[in-house]
Chain A
Amino acid sequence: MRLTALLSMAARVVIPKDYRFGTNRPWTAAAKRLNPPGKKRRKVFVEPMAAEDWSVLRGDTVEILAGKDKGKQGKVIQVFRHRNWVMLEGLNTHHRYIGKGVDSRGTYIASEAPILLRDVALIDPSDRKPADVQWKFTEEGERVRVSLRTGRIIPKPVVQRRDGIVQEQWKDGPKDTSPEDTLAKTYVPSLKTLEEEVMETLGIQENRRHRRSY
């Protein structure tokens, strides 16, 4: 047990309290290069926002209100809630070399930088202009985003799952349990433990009695 604990300690990444979280996950090589142990950076103050007020979701089309690509519209690829960031596809980019070798400069690619939520606005689908959005309830009781200017409901974006499964086209494999079997209720509450019930079904008779233990 001690050896496995030691090995898992080496595998798990320790992040200090004042770690500055960037766009890279802490266990990746890029993050380790930017935040080596012992490096202290100035603390970032993130505007406090309630989790239920977050209106920009992955797959939404939004418009940038400030910065280099002001006025452009793009699709949201990634959202970082803890820093109030959104990453748009192909917008707010800077160019850098990737896969640099000793003799080659590597490939010159455009990499996106995150944008603050404050500099981004959801687009109203009716007139395709940026609009302020609030969460409201419909008559059915569904919670939806409503644009304050026109009053139109902004639908939730349909995003592809990361494992590529489309729910409507799913077919069970040979090892999958069918939905009917899974939802079938077979539990009958009784005053017997699992062991007693199984012994009864299998016809096991335990005649031995416990010896006195201390």
Chain B
Amino acid sequence: MNINLILGIFILKGWDWVGREKSPLAALSWRSPSSSVAPCRALHTTISRRGLDEFFDLPENWGETTVKSGAPWTAKQLRTKSNEDLHKLWYVLLKEKNLLLTLEQEAKRQRVPMSSPERIRKVERSMIRLETVVNERESALRMLQTGQEKARPGAWRRDKFGHVYWYRFKEYAIPWYMNRRYKRKSFFTPKFVQPHIRLRLEKYLRQRARKTSLERRTQSKLKEKFPHANISAS
């Protein structure tokens, strides 16, 4: 690995999770208050059990105006991680986000500016990218095994105003013919809406024509003012 690459990368997130024990059951036997009821599992799967301290930052950062933090995780880096690591990282990020949101709320209560609010955005972005990577993997597997592109089934339906849209199905315990609230929805366009649809179409076509003519006028004006420049640049 190129040394410049290592020095150039500074990354955020992770309480040293890679070095932790991967088997939670070992930790379970000697740390947690074991109840004798058989299928009960403790919530924690790591060694660190600081309780409510996990909602607060390290004591040396209390009262600072700026706290140093690295860059967020990129999707490219997350794609190289296994599912187990991603699962653990999600909860690490979640706990960090809770910590920062507690800090933000307390800063609002004390009427003091929050130290380094960009940390929340970084964590949010990391979490969004993680979710994207997980969805990508799941989608690839689903396409391979079933050929379905979407996880949630749906259909093209027409609403009362004449718009055709992708209606995503919802999961119910009873069939549709027994579902009173669903039956009150109407997926068809009544006949008296036809004139409104025609007017809406005319409006849309007029807007489109206006836009094209505006573009044509601006291009001709630009050519007139700047004859030497090549016009098709953006």
Contacts and interface: CB of A to CB of B under 8 A. Distances in A.
Interface of A: 45, 47-51, 163, 165, 167-168, 170, 172-177, 179-188, 191-194, 197-198, 201-203, 211, 213-214
A175 B96 contact: yes
B7 A49 contact: no
Classify the secondary structure of A's interface with B: loop
Given A186-B81, A187-B81, A201 B233 contact: no
Nearest to A43: B218
A202 B45 CA distance: 9
A142 to B, nearest CB: 15
B233 A170 contact: no
Given A185-B81, A194-B134, 9 more contacts: A47-B222, A176-B10, A176-B70, A177-B14, A180-B6, A186-B85, A197-B84, A214-B174, A214-B176
19 contacts: A45-B218, A47-B222, A48-B222, A48-B232, A51-B233, A163-B118, A167-B7, A167-B8, A170-B7, A172-B70, A176-B12, A177-B18, A179-B11, A185-B80, A187-B79, A191-B144, A197-B84, A202-B45, A214-B176
Given A51-B234, A194-B137, A214 B84 contact: no
Contacts of A163: 118
Interface string B1-25: 1000111111111110010001011
Contact of A48 (B10, B87, B145, B226): B226
B195 interface: no
Interface in B78-102: 79-87, 96
Nearest to B57: A175
Contacts of B172: 213-214
Contact of A177 (B13, B68, B134, B222): B13
Contacts of A185: 80-81
A176 B176 contact: no
B64 interface: no
B173 interface: yes
B230 A177 contact: no
Interface in B195-234: 218, 221-222, 225-226, 229-234
Most interface-central of B5, B14, B134 (chain A CB within 10 A): B14
A28 B65 CA distance: 24
A172 B10 contact: yes
B141 interface: yes
Contacts of A197: 82-84
Contacts of A180: 1, 6
A184 B18 contact: yes
B233 A174 contact: no
Contacts of A170: 7, 10, 70
A143 B230 CA distance: 22
A191 B68 CA distance: 40
Contact of A187 (B6, B14, B80, B221): B80
B80 A194 contact: no
A47 B223 CA distance: 9
Contacts of A198: 83-84, 87
Given A48-B234, A203-B25, A176 B13 contact: yes
A182 B144 CA distance: 29
Contact of B229 (A47, A188, A202): A47
Contacts of B11: 172, 176-177, 179, 182
B62 to A, nearest CB: 14
Given A177-B14, A179-B6, A193-B141, A49 B229 contact: yes
Contact of B77 (A47, A49, A183, A188): A183
Contacts of B54: none
B171 interface: yes
Contacts of A179: 5-6, 9-11
A172 B8 CA distance: 12
A214 B176 CA distance: 7
A151 to B, nearest CB: 24
B82 A187 contact: yes
